[in-house]
Structure 1
């Protein structure tokens, strides 16, 4: 992977008591520390172009989470939510001597950032949420976080596309059909107007295929359910870790101190939205999952409304947040509008 990195970005392996972590680094070692946390089925490689364009007076680190990219593959205990990831980050920050820093999280990385803020608010100068998952987890809840099903059916590892998982495990970098990682990236990671540079696209797809696949990692295990759509979360793996059965960071409202929060998203995002193509409720409403019990039983999860509700409460309790919406942008504002994103990020961190 190091061979395809921009010149200003280097990779190093950091050993901690918890995890051997692959970390991308850039900038001044004595500069203002910023950590970039990637999303699901990706790696720190998706941050590299941004890292190369940030001012040199930042010390930027972008780790691969466990089971992703070049980091060690260790199982994810989903019953702890995303705390396996946040505790890995704490060990990494301690090893690197990062006592206080800005934390930027994309997608599931946003969920990790919110959990980290709850557990260690004193270590964060700023929090930036990029296309973040909802504080109420992924799928299966109404606006106030109430579960649609008592066993959280319709969320977790059983909702992954089996063919995509097989292609991912095989390291398939082709674009031969709708389930290949490359096709999924083009269709869902960015908006329809975005055109990748071919070499960068190749690097991103290879990074996707570095995801560890299995019950302990992506997507995780599942159990049968008597409730629609017939599957509920297991206890292991990434998608179960962000199921609302185990994940809830609405407690962000009560942290002290309260670092300022910047929330950046695209208005054409099909992964995290109020009409997500990865949410069982929306897929049922759209006729893609049969026998949908209806909106009164299992509505689409209003992901952005939930995030806004929690951040509004955060502001009411003495914090502050800013929401920035990029027009005609999908799930990856930092990739689709890199110049605007860089200016927004650096301006926010400078305040």
Structure 2
């Protein structure tokens, strides 16, 4: 692969799995670990790494189930515990003993919070993270709408998207191809990646482990609307509120400084995400919706804000930066400003 100047590629054998990563900066530098989100890889950070590497030892691994990392199954019953433990194993294999700065985008937000429960960290940056109560099928207070958390997990994926991922469809011929999904959901609606860069990132997503062990994961039938409940394997089940919860970040002691950055036009993690069954049902896109009281939309951004407000009230330092007009990836569609905000935070941490 042709990488940007100053960015290196490496494969590391850990005691859990063989991991691929991109790296930049001095090997004796302060460690800064960038964890990507669902349907992405470490390469989604590549464009930031030459600048960040001027001051930090930057590591952007491909997480389990994605990219060029060994395609091992994800145990969803641990939430993002596998990702957290894989990160710890990677740092150990690299001989890094210093507490790292951690950045977690989307799914990666739950992973960095899980890491911080068991290991010292210098700081935590949540980049449009999944809600502290997981994704889908919960009320505002984080309680499930049904006993089996119906409407979340592996059965919530669009089957056409899954089929096109499995077929390695790099085209823009369908709204369900990853190229068009990326354009519609990853960035601001007014932002378009340069064609050659878009090709690179589409190719990265098409490396995803597709199936019950990866994306989307398995699922179970449910007697509750919309008829599917979480399984026990794969990434979407790991994000289900049945297993994913990082609201207890409030209890960290000591409390590392926290930065939360979020795009105001994010459609993936939002108070009324079009991917949420509560929204899909209300719009009529999924028939049989039992109504607002039985299955409301999940107010994801409000949940993040409430938990981080509680973190601050408990003595933690929280910095919040909203990116007006940005989508789910302000580190891409507002890269320059996002990098400035991160570096200012890291220097103050």
Equivalence map 1:191-206=2 (5 Å)? 191-206=188-203
Measured in 2, the distance between the counterparts of 1:337 and 1:52 equals: 16
Tell me the alpha carbon deviations over residues 10-69 of structure 1, each in whole angstroms, 9 at most, x when there is no partner. 110000110100010001111121000000011001000011222512100000001100
Counterpart contact for 1:260–1:319, Cα < 8 Å: yes
In the other structure, the counterpart of 1:72 is: 70
In the other structure, the counterpart of 2:117 is: 118
Counterpart contact for 2:24–2:53, Cα < 8 Å: no
**How far is 1:97 from its partner?**
2.1
In the other structure, the counterpart of 1:183 is: 180
Measured in 1, the distance between the counterparts of 2:157 and 2:167 equals: 16
Measured in 1, the distance between the counterparts of 2:118 and 2:331 equals: 26
Measured in 2, the distance between the counterparts of 1:255 and 1:344 equals: 24
In the other structure, the counterpart of 2:131 is: 134
In the other structure, the counterpart of 1:165 is: 162
**How far is 1:323 from its partner?**
1.4
Equivalence map 1:323-334=2 (5 Å)? 323-334=320-331
TM-score (norm 1): 0.97
In the other structure, the counterpart of 2:103 is: 104
Q: Does 1:16 align with 2:14?
A: yes
Q: 3-state SS of the aligned residue for 1:334? A: helix
Q: 3-state SS of the aligned residue for 2:319? A: strand
Measured in 1, the distance between the counterparts of 2:82 and 2:137 equals: 23
Measured in 1, the distance between the counterparts of 2:6 and 2:53 equals: 11
Q: Does 1:48 align with 2:46?
A: yes
Q: 3-state SS of the aligned residue for 1:164? A: helix
Counterpart contact for 1:191–1:269, Cα < 8 Å: yes
Measured in 1, the distance between the counterparts of 2:235 and 2:116 equals: 20
Q: 3-state SS of the aligned residue for 1:331? A: coil
Measured in 1, the distance between the counterparts of 2:65 and 2:259 equals: 28
Q: 3-state SS of the aligned residue for 1:24? A: strand
**How far is 1:239 from its partner?**
0.3
Q: 3-state SS of the aligned residue for 2:304? A: helix
TM-score (norm 2): 0.98
Q: How many residues align?
A: 347
Runs of at least 5 residues in structure 1 that lack an aligned partner in the other structure = none
In the other structure, the counterpart of 1:232 is: 229
Measured in 1, the distance between the counterparts of 2:179 and 2:118 equals: 36
Q: 3-state SS of the aligned residue for 1:124? A: coil
**How far is 1:248 from its partner?**
1.2
Runs of at least 5 residues in structure 2 that lack an aligned partner in the other structure = none
Equivalence map 1:308-347=2 (5 Å)? 308-347=305-344
Counterpart contact for 1:118–1:249, Cα < 8 Å: no
